[in-house]
């Protein structure tokens, strides 16, 4: 359903857009044209300049050179409100909704009109585009997919001609992705053009009419995604083929390394996630994946396992590491037993943002001989940091670089490198490839598989289903604080897991 | 709006050289600023500055006075800075100083005729323990009930003061003192030895204690793992929790260190220039040390310089008001200017000004 408009002036044309941050060129003479109703994919690794380009179009920042031509007229998009007046809307990767108020109240913050009027318009738009949502629902009760629908409706309230979507499916279960695509295709049919940022090549092939590939700030190619294969698109994006993780059948031993039995946790925070009777086992030499949409209790589970949240003494036995009851043990004691952790927040939790990489190594690696008699051993510390950087190909200006100056992917490689160098017997990793580019993600996954093959027990929490399937041996699904029984990754389909992600394991799986 | 066109952007790396330049630039700007101000006040600008900054260093007696004032400022600031780096806000150093002094003074008041040379070391130990214990009250309330250490330490200042007033008018009062609220004079073994033999100068050996403790602080914050864990707790609490560094332990360590340092400073006053227990022990050293700690960039070497500088201004202020005809507020204004210029240059070292592209109307 490619929409071609005969008249020459395209809806949006970028000419020679250049944006620099100091000496770093984020966008280098980018040209791009977009017709009405056209869905154009913006492909590229992290740091390729996609977000910079979108921010320029949406008026969050100004280009240093080049111009934006809108409907044949040169415009200066000096702020998002100017962009919205032109008819440009943006759906962000991270939602900007207030949890404690309702959908319509959230929308009324940016769209003029009385609440009843707005509710009516929301219902109309929702009907029109199949975005099922109740305007009166409070946001904290909505699923991630529903929240995204609210964001999209908020954009649609202003009748946009161009919609920018920044990795919209990264947070959605497969079922909601399908719904989203139907909505987007309807919008395209009505002449709304879209710029669609994503890492997921299959989706781009399903949805987009054209694709522009960015690498190091430059347009390195364009492709017709319906004709190109995913492998071809990937090659355009990173400049070489992506390796998929080698993944032989696991040979787990039978003694569990990590055992969780009937773990119950009532979160004192009313908006936090509670856990209800979670049980699982991870054995040396296997990767157990926990799938599920974020916000279903995964982060609470991860903190309970790491010791950042501790259980009361009498419940401590529900978490056991090498058959020792550790539910009430502090993080340090668990690490002493050979567990390391890679949390999902790299900046601020896995690392101290304002400290150098060398100092960030000390955070967890101080046990590895970097401290003697209470004094930091600078030589060993520097060596350890250098090993992290070289083992994982962390691109930085060396160990004195400040953690926050690294890109997400490089910081994740650094954190993983640090935890791997500690030679863990159990590794617990959350969202290992969240927001990092395909090249780095492939490397991270391969490292996990390699580690598994050395006999480490790995628990991986991830909401990327492809990743779960690529490297897990067994899969659990988390839904509303409950954990499904495990299924063998090789004998289950994505559809089955997708259904489990919507909570359909209680009846079927327990009966089985 | 012109200002809208500029923004502060954090620098990725900060060079050591630019950090070292901050105090120098601050000092020069404060000098220029105060010359202008003093000029407006009708005082000869250079004369005022001379009294404020050079005069305190112009005679052995004045230098000795500077040393006396610098010692408590530096001591307290070193202790406080360790807490501030961990974002534990102890503003009760004044009270901790008083309690340290009161506890230590019990020994010489009980044995006023003693000639035991262990008396001063015993007082030092007692003062540090008492100061730490006083700060420990705030640590306990913080870790048990999550009571703000800012409020608790601040209010404990008042309580410490009242305890001093009660004791100095009661049990610790000199019975032969014509009902003045003060204790007996301490015996020589309860005093820090003077630096000069002739007894003309008041500066005493406590300065060596200050230097030793500054070196200890430097090693603690730059070389020890314990110092590192405190800094992590201050910069990124989630990272500290992830790494398993206990936040409660950090509260205890920092408050105990801060209290002990302030208590030690209290001993330095009664066993130094004052020589007895009396109602006023400190002209607000506990509060001025907060400024010293920040002026010194929360770094032990910086604090050494900042404390000396503040002491010079303290000593110079008296002379400047009397001789150069400056209003009593002038020294305070000078201190204020130093702080403002310091904060501004510090910000510019860590951030740079970026010009935003001129906006065209759409």
Distance CA B66, CA B50 (A): 15
B236 with A308: Cβ contact below 8 A: no
Q: Does A345 map to a domain?
A: no
Q: How many residues does chain B have?
A: 362
Q: Shortest CB distance from A353 goes to which of B226, B236, B360?
A: B236
Q: Hey, which residues 303-362 in chain A have their CB within 8 Å of chain B?
A: 306-308, 330-333, 335, 341, 343, 345, 348-355, 359, 362
Q: Considering only CB atoms, which chain A residues are within 8 Å of B355?
A: none
The answer to the question of residue A293 being in a domain is yes
User: How many residue pairs from chains A and B have C-beta atoms closer than 8 A?
Assistant: 83
Q: Which helix (H) or strand (E) holds B134?
A: helix B119-145
* Cβ within 8 Å, pair B242-A335: no
Q: What pLDDT is stored for residue A327 in this prediction?
A: 92
Report if residue A80 sits inside a domain: yes
In order along its 512 residues, chain A shows pLDDT tens digits of: 444 445 568 899 999 999 887 667 788 899 999 999 999 998 877 667 888 888 899 988 889 999 999 998 899 988 888 898 899 998 876 667 888 888 999 888 888 888 899 999 888 888 877 777 888 888 887 777 788 888 888 888 888 899 998 878 766 666 778 888 888 898 899 899 999 987 677 788 888 999 898 887 888 888 888 887 777 777 777 666 656 655 666 666 778 899 999 999 988 877 678 898 899 999 999 999 998 877 788 889 999 999 999 998 888 899 999 999 999 999 999 999 999 999 988 888 999 998 999 999 999 999 888 999 999 999 999 999 999 999 988 888 889 988 888 877 889 999 999 999 999 999 999 989 876 777 888 889 999 999 999 999 999 999 888 888 889 999 999 988 889 999 988 888 877 887 787 777 765 444 43
Using a CB-CB cut-off of 8 Å, the residues of chain B touching A340 are none
**Residue A34 β-bridge partners:** A12
Token pair recorded at residue B44 = 């000869």
> B260-298: buried (b, 16+ CB within 10 Å) or exposed (e) per residue?
bbbbbbbbbbbbbbbbbbbeebbeebbebbbbbbbbbbb
Please identify, among A380, A399, A422, the residue that sits at the C-terminal boundary of a domain.
A422
Domain boundary among A213, A238, A263: A238
User: Do A332 and A359 belong to one domain?
Assistant: no
Residue A4 lies in a domain: no
How distant is the Cα of A213 from the closest Cα of chain B, in angstroms?
27
Pair (A508, A392) in one structural domain = no
Query: Which tokens go with B205?
Result: 């050996």
A112 and A261 together in one domain: no
Chain B: nearest CA to A250, how far in angstroms?
30
Reported as a pLDDT band with limits 50, 70 and 90, residue B362 is very low
**Contact between A62 and B226 using a beta-carbon 8 Å cutoff:** no
Same domain, A392 and A446: no
**Residue A493 C-alpha, separation from nearest chain B C-alpha, in angstroms:** 35
Q: Judge if A199 and A217 occupy the same domain.
A: yes
Q: Both tokens of residue A137? A: 């629902």
Please tell me whether residues A126 and A229 are part of one structural domain. Answer: yes
Q: Tell me, what's the pLDDT at A497?
A: 81
- For residues A328 and A463, membership in a common domain is answered with yes
Phi, psi of A456 (to 5 degrees): -85, 140
Instruction: Please give the pLDDT value at position B51.
Output: 80
Q: How far apart are CA A31 and CA A38, in angstroms?
A: 16
CATH assignment at residue A435: 3.40.50.300
ipTM of the complex: 0.79
Q: What is the pLDDT of residues B253-293, one digit of tens each?
A: 999 999 999 999 999 999 999 999 999 999 889 988 998 99
Cβ contacts of B238 on chain A, cutoff 8 Å:
345, 348-349
Beta strands at B6-10 and B351-355: parallel, antiparallel or unpaired: antiparallel
Same domain, A438 and A412: no
* Residue A283 and residue A263 share a domain: yes
Instruction: Note whether A507 and A487 are same-domain residues.
Output: yes
- Cβ distance A352 to B235 less than 8 Å, yes or no, reads yes
Q: Is residue A150 part of a domain?
A: yes
Nearest by CB to residue A330, choosing from B12, B244, B356, is: B244
Structure tokens at A452: 């598994």
**What does the alpha-carbon distance between residue B325 and residue B323 come to, in Å, rounded to a whole number?**
6
Range of the structural domain that residue A234 is part of: 12-238
Q: Are residues A70 and A134 in the same domain?
A: yes
Task: State the Cα–Cα distance between residues A283 and A159, nearest whole angstrom.
Answer: 54
Determine whether the interchain pair B236/A397 forms a contact, defined as Cβ–Cβ distance below 8 Å: no
The tally of domains found in chain A comes to 3
Cα A211 from Cα A194, distance rounded (Å)? 11
Say if residues B316 and B53 touch (Cβ distance below 8 Å): yes
Q: What is the pLDDT of residues A465-510, one digit of tens each?
A: 888 888 999 999 998 888 999 998 888 887 788 778 777 776 544 4
Within a domain: A186: yes
Across the interface, which of A341, A348, A354 has its CB nearest the CB of B238?
A348
Q: Is A477 helix (H, G, I), strand (E, B) or coil?
A: strand
Structure tokens that stand for B152 in this block? 């608790």
Q: How far is A374 from chain B (nearest CA, A)?
A: 6
Domain assignment present for A281: yes
Asked if residue A437 is part of any domain, the answer here is yes
Q: Among the three residues A422, A453, A477, which one is the final residue of a domain in this structure? A: A422
Residue of B nearest to A85 (CA): B362
A86 and A133 fall within a common domain: yes
């Amino acid at each position: 359903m490619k929409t071609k408009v005969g008249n020459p002036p395209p809806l949006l044309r970028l000419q020679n857009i250049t944006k620099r941050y100091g000496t770093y060129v984020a966008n280098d003479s980018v040209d791009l044209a977009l017709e009405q109703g056209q869905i154009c994919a913006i492909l590229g690794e992290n740091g390729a300049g996609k977000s910079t380009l979108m921010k320029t179009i949406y008026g969050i920042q100004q280009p240093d050179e080049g111009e934006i031509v809108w409907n044949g007229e040169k415009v200066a998009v000096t702020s998002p409100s100017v962009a919205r007046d032109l008819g440009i809307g943006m759906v962000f990767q991270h939602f900007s909704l207030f949890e404690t108020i309702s959908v319509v109240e959230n929308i009324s913050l940016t769209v003029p009109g009385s609440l009843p009027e707005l509710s009516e318009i929301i219902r109309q738009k929702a009907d029109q585009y199949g975005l099922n949502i109740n305007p009166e629902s409070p946001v904290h009760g909505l699923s991630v997919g529903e929240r995204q629908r609210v964001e999209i409706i908020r954009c649609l309230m202003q009748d946009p001609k161009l919609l920018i979507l920044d990795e919209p499916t990264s947070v959605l279960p497969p079922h909601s992705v399908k719904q989203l695509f139907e909505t987007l295709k309807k919008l395209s049919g009505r002449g709304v053009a879209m710029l669609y940022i994503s890492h997921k090549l299959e989706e781009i092939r399903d949805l987009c009419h054209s694709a522009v590939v960015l690498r190091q700030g430059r347009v390195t190619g364009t492709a017709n995604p319906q004709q190109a294969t995913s492998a071809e698109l990937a090659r355009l994006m990173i400049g070489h083929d992506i390796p998929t993780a080698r993944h032989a059948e696991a040979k787990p031993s039978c003694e569990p390394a990590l055992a969780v039995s009937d773990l119950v946790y009532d979160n004192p925070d009313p908006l936090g996630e509670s856990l209800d009777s979670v049980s699982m086992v991870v054995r040396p030499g296997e990767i157990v994946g926990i799938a599920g949409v974020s916000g279903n209790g995964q982060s609470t589970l991860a903190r309970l396992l790491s010791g950042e949240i501790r259980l009361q003494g009498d419940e401590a036995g529900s978490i056991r590491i090498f058959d020792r009851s550790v539910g009430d043990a502090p993080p340090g004691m668990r690490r002493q037993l050979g567990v390391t952790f890679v949390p999902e927040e790299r900046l601020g939790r896995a690392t101290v943002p304002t400290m150098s990489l060398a100092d960030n190594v000390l955070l967890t690696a101080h046990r590895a001989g970097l401290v003697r008699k209470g004094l930091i051993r600078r030589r060993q510390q520097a060596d350890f940091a250098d090993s992290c950087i070289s083992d994982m190909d962390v691109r930085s200006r060396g160990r004195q670089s400040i953690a926050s100056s690294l890109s997400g992917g490089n910081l994740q490689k650094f954190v993983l490198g640090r935890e791997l160098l500690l030679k863990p017997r159990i590794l617990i990793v959350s969202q290992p490839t969240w927001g990092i580019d395909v090249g780095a993600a492939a490397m991270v996954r391969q490292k996990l598989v390699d580690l598994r093959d050395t006999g480490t027990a790995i628990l991986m929490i991830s909401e990327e289903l492809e990743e779960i399937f690529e490297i897990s041996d067994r899969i659990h699904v988390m839904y509303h604080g409950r954990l499904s029984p495990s299924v063998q990754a090789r004998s289950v389909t994505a559809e089955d897991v997708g259904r489990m992600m919507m909570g359909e394991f209680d009846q079927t799986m327990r009966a089985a | 709006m012109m200002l809208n066109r500029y923004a502060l952007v954090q620098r990725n790396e900060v060079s050591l050289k630019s950090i070292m330049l901050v105090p120098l630039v601050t000092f020069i700007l404060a000098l220029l600023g105060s010359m202008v101000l003093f000029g407006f006040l009708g005082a000869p600008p250079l004369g005022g500055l001379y009294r404020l900054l050079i005069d305190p260093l112009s005679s052995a007696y004045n230098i000795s006075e500077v040393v006396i004032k610098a010692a408590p400022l530096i001591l307290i600031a070193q202790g406080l800075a360790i807490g501030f780096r961990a974002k534990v806000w102890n503003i009760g150093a004044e009270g901790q100083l008083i309690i340290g002094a009161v506890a230590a003074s019990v020994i010489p008041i009980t044995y006023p005729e003693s000639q035991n040379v262990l008396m001063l070391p015993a007082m030092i130990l007692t003062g540090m323990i008492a100061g730490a214990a006083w700060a420990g009250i705030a640590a306990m309330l913080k870790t048990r009930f999550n009571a703000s250490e800012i409020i608790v330490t601040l209010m404990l200042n008042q309580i410490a003061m009242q305890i001093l007033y009660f004791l100095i008018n009661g049990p610790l009062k000199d019975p032969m003192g014509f009902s003045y609220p003060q204790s007996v004079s301490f015996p020589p073994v309860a005093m820090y030895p003077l630096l000069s033999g002739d007894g003309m100068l008041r500066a005493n050996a406590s300065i060596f204690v200050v230097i030793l403790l500054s070196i200890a602080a430097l090693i603690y914050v730059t070389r020890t793992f314990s110092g590192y864990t405190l800094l992590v707790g201050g910069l990124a609490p989630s990272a500290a929790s992830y790494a398993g560094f206990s936040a409660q332990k950090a509260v205890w360590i920092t408050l105990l260190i801060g209290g002990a340092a302030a208590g030690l400073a209290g001993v330095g006053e009664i066993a130094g220039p004052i020589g007895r227990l009396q109602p006023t022990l400190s002209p607000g050293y506990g509060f001025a040390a907060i400024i010293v700690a920040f002026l010194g960039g929360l770094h032990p070497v910086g604090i050494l310089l900042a404390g000396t500088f503040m002491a010079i201004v303290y000593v110079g202020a008296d002379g400047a008001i009397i001789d150069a005809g400056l209003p009593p507020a002038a020294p305070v204004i000078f201190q204020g200017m130093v702080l403002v210029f310091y904060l501004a240059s510090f910000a510019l070292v860590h951030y740079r000004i970026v010009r935003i592209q001129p906006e065209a109307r759409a």
